[in-house]
């Protein structure tokens, strides 16, 4: 099963009324939440961040007598914007994971894999723990890599790589939790690490496209579900003893 085929399947299934609803309301709720935070705190965050950047630059390049105030303000605004997008859609993903993923898994499984046995390798507690680990891991990666965001060759790429890790880590568990047992989940996550990261990177990249970002959480959730259930189905067919 290719990533392209799973994405094509996801596009086609977004037209289903229930999937359309799941596509819209988590993103709208997340946008309202973070837009409200941004309305009150954007200026304060930009000024504080610009001051921090300016202090770091003066400490590391004290031999230069340049006024970097304008540059640091621009850099701070870019960093805040780059942080805003993942905050919005990761919040939407968490909402979708809690309220929408079971319905999406049922939708994909019922239409494409009706005979696939459910072995319940995961559950609600596992899903919650996976979400917590993913969000903490993402926050840690952001903190560790923020200094590198100041360099033009790196700042567009590093946030995308961090988001790619978080995307695949968050969605892969809920996509397989009902159908795979724990051994199957571990094996598939290990064997399909490359394609899963690739799908996560495409998701991160697409999230920054105007308007298209609204479709990202539901679209890629469907793609992850279809790709992983197909992988599980093929694995069981090739290993009938399991």
Backbone dihedral angles phi then psi of residue 137, each to the nearest 5 degrees: -65, -40
pLDDT value at 96 more than 90: no
- Overall average pLDDT of the 76-81 stretch: 76
**b/e code 131-141 from CB counts within 10 Å (16+ = b):** beebbeebeeb
* Least confident piece of the model among 29-33, 76-80, 123-127, 191-195: 76-80
Please state the pTM of the whole predicted model: 0.81
Position 242 scores a pLDDT of: 59
pLDDT value at 173 more than 60: yes
pLDDT digits (tens, 9 = 90+) for 31-45: 888 888 877 877 778
CA 87 – CA 204 distance, rounded (Å): 12
Position 171 scores a pLDDT of: 92
pLDDT digits (tens, 9 = 90+) for 192-208: 999 999 999 999 888 87
- Overall average pLDDT of the 33-59 stretch: 76
């Amino acid at each position: 099963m290719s990533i392209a085929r799973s994405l094509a399947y996801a596009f086609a299934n977004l037209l289903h009324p229930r999937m359309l609803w799941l596509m819209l309301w988590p993103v709208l709720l997340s946008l309202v939440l973070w837009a409200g935070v941004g309305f009150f705190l954007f200026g304060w965050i930009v000024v504080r961040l610009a001051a921090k950047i300016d202090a770091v630059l003066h400490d590391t390049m004290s031999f230069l007598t340049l006024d970097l105030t304008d540059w640091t303000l621009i850099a701070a605004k870019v960093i805040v914007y780059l942080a805003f997008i993942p905050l919005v859609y990761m919040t939407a993903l968490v909402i979708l994971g809690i309220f929408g993923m079971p319905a999406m898994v049922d939708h994909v499984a019922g239409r494409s894999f009706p005979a696939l046995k459910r072995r319940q390798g995961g559950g609600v507690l596992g899903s919650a723990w996976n979400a917590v680990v993913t969000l903490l891991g993402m926050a840690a990666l952001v903190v560790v890599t923020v200094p590198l965001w100041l360099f033009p060759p790196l700042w567009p790429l590093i946030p995308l790589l961090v988001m790619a890790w978080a995307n695949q880590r968050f969605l892969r568990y809920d996509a397989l939790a009902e159908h795979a047992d724990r051994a199957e989940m571990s094996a598939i996550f290990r064997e399909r690490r490359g394609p899963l990261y690739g799908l996560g990177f495409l998701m991160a990249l697409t999230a920054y496209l105007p308007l298209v970002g609204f479709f990202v959480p539901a679209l890629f959730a469907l793609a992850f579900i279809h790709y992983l259930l197909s992988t599980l189905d093929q694995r069981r067919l090739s290993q009938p003893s399991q």
